[in-house]
Chains A and B, each alone.
Chain A
Amino acid sequence: MDASPLPRNAAIAPAAPVIEARGVSLTFQTADGPVHALKDVDLSIGRGEFVSFIGPSGCGKTTFLRSIAALETPTGGTLSVNGMEPDAARRARAYGYVFQAPGLYPWRTIAGNISLPLEIMGFSRAERAERIARVLDLVELSGFGAKFPWQLSGGMQQRASIARALAFDADILLMDEPFGALDEIVRDRLNEALLELWRKTGKTIGFVTHSIPEAVYLSTRIVVMSPRPGRITRVIESTLPAERPLDIRDTPEFIALAHEVREGLREGHAHD
């Protein structure tokens, strides 16, 4: 994690690409023939950007995120993360990954769950304790370390899982519909907290979502994708300021951006 107390954001960050995709394709061989999950995806994501991927099911947004994480292997093109092959980047702890479900182990406390990747990566006991305290504070769960997952609400559990992904200081946070299973009110609160966390830490965030308002509210850039084959149809730069209170969603600027995303989604469907 960046020790600097200065807030950073994409607007002032240098544009060195952290994630670079050139002609990335991924074809699954299935019994019904090949499925083109991704076809010729070009995208470069700079340090400190918050990029959302939005599109209907089967558009490859999750597959692309998983490819960055080396959980899938593209069948064509080149993909680099921090200038490395995705697999090497993973071993170098380049990213933390947040899944749709918190995936906390019921037999471990919240602190124990956050400790797990640190144990696997070989951090010392003292360093683990220090890091756990720091990330719990970051997601505003200080004082909940000794609780078990079932004692926390769904939103708190997902915050704990974000804390776990942050604990080992990856520069990149990959989030696959992390708030998809939560109700709207909790979701709003977590979106606000996530923006705050992003401003504080200056991480590069890749965020998969189904929700247009969520994508517009959070992102510096919105990548609209469409299925069959999975591809990028539009990339929208956000014109919203870095400081975003929740009621920014009622401004004409926000509504115009949301409209543009919707247009992009419709465009993708026109090919069907």
Chain B
Amino acid sequence: MIEAWRRAGRGNLVPILTVLLIIIGIWYLGAIRMNAQWERDQAARAGIELSLPELVSRTLSQDRPVLPAPHQVAEGLWQGVAGQAVTSRRSLVWHGWVTLSATLAGFAIGTAAGIVLAIGIVHSRAMDQSVMPWAVASQTVPILAIAPMVIVVLASIGVTGLLPKAIIAAWLSFFPVLVGMVKGLRTPDGMQLDQMRSWSAGGGRTFWHLRLPSSLPYLFASLKVAIAAALVGTIVGELPAGATAGLGARLLSGSYYGQTVQIWSALFAAAILAATLVAIVGLLERATLKRMGLAR
């Protein structure tokens, strides 16, 4: 993926910008079309005729548009990030930090759980047969159904704040790590394992010197999926039970009060956060694998 980005940086900027412009164009057309009805109704009520330029300009500057125009979202995003003190309840930086901290905590818990379970599965036949079906089952449960229960149950025993959200994030992020690590820890072939046996190396040494380093390309691929999943889990965890902080709460309060610009700004803030997190993992991946001679 990083490789694709680098190539994009060299020669494919034109097609990427073209696609971006087309999307923005369609977005503007959509905004005009979806917001026009309300402007026409307003004009009819006031008994005035709207010319086309007037109609267009009004549809793109509503307070509560059905679909806000790109520049309105950009402005909302800018206002949320730079126009407020970062400690303000209206600051996207503050909400973003609340979400980010729970995301990172959940990502850490999920990654650790995934790695530990994978090690167990690779080394124990019993775990191999018993854990995987449960892990798969855990992912088929709709997270939207589970999240409120986790929040409520934990709140009833006095656990609130970051931890319940982190647990939901971990719930989503352990799975890709588990699957990737099981695959990665099993990549050493028969010859490599025989080589270890010829040195009378036990399971621990084989794991440490051979299986673990061999699994790193798979681990990093999984981590990129896992960190994005952790962010989704955190935002879902912020939706129920009247949470007041975090990008998820921002999304929810926006929809309560019909603040579409706020919803879209929070949405884009979440997307930018996810892209940044994935890019950071990607950079770590590239540096590590290059250093280890495993870069492909």
Binding site for B on A (CB under 8 A): 66, 69-71, 90-91, 93, 95-97, 99-101, 103, 105-107, 116-117, 119-121, 148-150
Contacts and interface: CB of A to CB of B under 8 A. Distances in A.
A120 B198 contact: no
In the complex, the 4 A-B pairs of residues with the closest C-beta atoms, listed nearest first? A106-B293, A107-B292, A97-B198, A117-B199
Interface of B: 191-192, 194-201, 205, 209-210, 213, 291-294
B201 A106 contact: no
B205 A120 contact: yes
Given A106-B292, A107-B293, A120-B209, A91 B194 contact: no
Contacts of A121: 199-200
A106 B205 CA distance: 17
Contact of A90 (B198, B205, B291, B292): B198
Given A106-B292, A150-B293, A120 B199 contact: yes
B interface: dominant SS? helix
B201 A120 contact: yes
Contacts, number: 50
Given A107-B213, A120-B209, A69 B198 contact: yes
A152 to B, nearest CB: 12
Contacts of A70: 197
Contact of B200 (A90, A103, A149): A90
Contacts of A93: 200
A99 B210 CA distance: 16
B209 A116 contact: yes
Contacts of A95: 198
A103 B197 contact: no
Nearest to A97: B198
A71 B294 contact: no
B294 A107 contact: yes
13 contacts: A70-B197, A71-B194, A90-B200, A101-B191, A103-B191, A103-B192, A105-B209, A106-B294, A107-B292, A107-B293, A120-B201, A121-B199, A148-B293
B205 A71 contact: no
B191 A99 contact: yes
A19 to B, nearest CB: 15
A150 B292 CA distance: 11
Given A105-B213, A107-B292, A99 B195 contact: yes
A117 B200 CA distance: 9
A115 to B, nearest CB: 11
A103 to B, nearest CB: 5
Contacts of B198: 69, 71, 90, 95-97
